[in-house]
Structure 1
């Protein structure tokens, strides 16, 4: 999985600059998305999808939420 995912994004200060358990994928601050250009963000915290989408509405991102049903927002 880590060869397909460059990093995870979390706005929890306690998780920034850490690594995911098991796969050791780096966790970065959401500001990193400002420099990504046309990035694809997979939202795994599907219960917070609307909140995450509203926080990132000014970003040039494609948001994909696979659960509970697939949503793709460009």
Structure 2
């Protein structure tokens, strides 16, 4: 195990910071809503929520040390 760690750090040590790109993927459903709410003492919390399942939205983005590179909505 220790040998693998040493090998990893020798390999990653050659990578330049400017060459790194980080990619993130997120997903959200437009019908997502909270099940509980808060209200002042003696008051009732009201809210509207969708009745159907809603649409799923997926977003992907890429960022590097130079800034934001790209984004896509699928």
User: Which range, TM-score by smaller chain?
Assistant: under 0.3
* RCO comparison, higher one (Cα < 8 Å, 6+): 2
Give the number of the structure whose alpha-carbon radius of gyration is greater: 2
TM-score scaled by length of structure 1: 0.18
TM-score scaled by length of structure 2: 0.18
